[in-house]
Chain A
Amino acid sequence: MAALPKRIVKETERLSKEPVPGISAVPHDDNLRYFDVTIDGPSQSPYEGGLFRLELFLPDDYPMTPPKVRFLTKIYHPNIDRLGRICLDVLKSNWSPALQIRTILLSIQALLGAPNPDDPLANDVAQAWKEDQSKAIETAKQWTAQHAARPTA
C-alpha cells in the first residue's frame, strides 16, 4: 500500500486530539483510510438520544474526490436511503478539497437536525414526511429508540 498522504495523517491526528463534540472518527489499524464513525443525534431532533454508526472511506484520489460515507445504523430520514447512502451536495457535485472529514461529518450531523423531504433520496420516507410530518417524526423517534440505542455501560 502506498504511503499515507500527509494530509490524511494531519486530519487523523487532529480528529483524535481535538474531537468534534458529538462525533467520533477512528481509523482502522490495518487500513488507515477506513474510519469507524459515530454521530450523536442532535438535540431537539427526532434522533436525539441516539448513537448512529457510520463508515467513512477515503478513496485514493482524496482530497480531490470526496470521502465515501454511509450510515450503518438503520435510520428513518428522507435524505438517507435503506442502504445508508446519504443525499448531501457536498458529498457529490459540491465537494471541494477545502472540506475535511470533520466538516463533512458536521454537515451530516446538521442534516439529521434538518431533514429535507424536498430533496429526497428515500422517496417513500420523503413522501410520508410530506403527507404527515408529525407521524413521520414519531416513526423516526421509534426507529431511533429501536436501532440507535446507546450500549449500556
Chain B
Amino acid sequence: MEKFTTLSGVAAPLPMVNVDTDMIIPKQFLKTIKRTGLKEGLFYEMRWTADGQKKDFILDQPAYQNAKILVAGPNFGCGSSREHAPWALLDFGIRCIISEDFADIFYNNCFKNGILPIKVSKEIIAKLMDDASRGSNAIIEIDLEKQEIKGPDGGTVHFEIDAFRKKCLIEGLDDIGLTLEKKSSIDDFENRQKDSQPWLHTAT
C-alpha cells in the first residue's frame, strides 16, 4: 500500500448527503477481476447521460480534473461494501476525503487503500466546501503526521484520527503481515476453541 504522509492538491466539493457506493461505482463495473482501471466507472451515472454524453459533473470540470481531495456531504460511502468504490476514487487520483461522517465499511476500506478519510465538524466542512468551490486556485494541504488541514488562506484545522490507523497509513503497512506476526496467538486461540467449541472445527 502506498504511504500517506502529506498531500497537497485541489479539493472538489460534493455536498450531497448519503452518497452511496452504488453511486460511486455502479454494478456494471463490479464484474472486473482486477483492482485497477476503475476510474472509468467513478460516479458513472452522474458523469454520463444514458446515451453517452458527458454531463458537467464536478470532477469533469477543468478546475477539478486533477482533484486529489474530495470535500463530501455527510454519511459518505453508505450502502454496499464494494471496495471498488475506494479503488475507483484512487484510480481517479483522490487520496483524501473529508466529511462530517462516513459509513463504517467504506471508512475502513479507505485505509486499506492508502486513502485518508478525515472526519471534521459541520462548521469546518462548511468552510472547506467554500474553499473547494473556489476551484483550482484553492490548494488544500493535508499533513497526517501533524493531523492538520491547511486551507488556501493559510488557516489550519486539526483533525482526529485513530493512532493505529494513522501509523498504518504513514508507514504504508500491510495489515496481513502485521497480523501474521501474531500467528502464535491465533494458534492458541484456535486450540482453545477446538476444546471448548469443537463443532466450530468440523469441516464445511
Are A and B physically bound partners? Answer: no
Using a CB–CB distance below 8 Å, which chain A residues touch chain B? none
Using a CB–CB distance below 8 Å, which chain B residues touch chain A? none
